[in-house]
Amino acid sequence: MEAASRPNPPSPSREPAAEVGAGWKPADPGPLGLAAFALTTFILSMFNSGLVSKAGEPVVLGVALAYGGIAQLLAGMWEFRTGNTFGAVAFTSFGAFWISFWALVTFFAGDIPPEHVGASIGLFLIAWGIFTLYMLVASLRTTAAIVAVFALLTVTFFLLGIGAANETEGLTEAGGFFGLATAAAAWYASFAAVTNSTFGRIVLPVKPLGD
């Protein structure tokens, strides 16, 4: 209870929040969004990297829908409520990414002609890479921890997209390893936010970036 009464250090995912209501201070949804993104990315990247047989890849789908998708989407909605534009756009978008990934694999992938599968999946991933790239630029005003997440994720999307489009297994596996690094960075940022908030002081550094 004592820790809860102390002022919370800045989250690695946040910009200054708007005043929500007199006497009410919302919890930071950023750590949830980061954790949901990290865990789902970790599981999929274990398959993409070749460290785990792709025969078990359907295990990703439930996590992609529930945690990476819905939980992260909710985190984005809560970021809108607190006035954090960057977090709102990032978490809502990547929550939608995981839901669209789940829907694509579950319902629509079988409708793509075999000769167009690689190019279609490649387009899907590269488009998300473009979005992630401009979010990387925006992240330069957040923290070094968040910049690391978006820098690694940008490389991940482009490697996976180009690998899928050209059916190059080596690029896909490289994208998988970058995805594992992305997951580690996102987990660190989430862990730092939860720990720093709980202890009421900076336990794990995230290096806020200024002007």
pLDDT interval class at 211 (50, 70, 90): low
Give the torsion sign (CA, 194, 199, 203, 206).
positive
**Is pLDDT above 70 for 21?**
no
Among the listed residues 68, 46, 72, the one whose alpha carbon sits nearest the alpha carbon of residue 175: 46
**Is pLDDT above 50 for 9?**
no
Residue 99 in any domain: the answer is yes
**Number of domains into which the chain is organized:** 1
Measured at the CA of 94, the angle between CA 64 and CA 135, to 5 degrees, comes to 155
DSSP class of 7: P
| Structure tokens that stand for 205 in this block | 């550094």
Residue 50 in any domain: the answer is yes
pLDDT digit string (tens) for 55-73?
999 999 999 999 999 999 9
Residue 168 in any domain: the answer is yes
Contact 78, 33 (CB under 8 A): no
| DSSP E strand boundaries for 149-205 | none
| Average confidence (pLDDT) over 34-50 | 99
Residue 37 in any domain: the answer is yes
Q: List alpha helices for the chain, DSSP H.
A: 2-5, 30-48, 59-63, 72-82, 85-103, 117-139, 144-166, 169-199
Residue 15 in any domain: the answer is no
Residue 181 in any domain: the answer is yes
Residue 153 in any domain: the answer is yes
d(CA 145, CA 148): 5
Chain-centroid distance of CA 166 in Å reads 25
| Structure tokens that stand for 12 in this block | 């690695």
Q: Is the whole-model pTM more than 0.75?
A: yes
Residue span of the structural domain in which 177 resides: 29-197
Residue 113 in any domain: the answer is yes
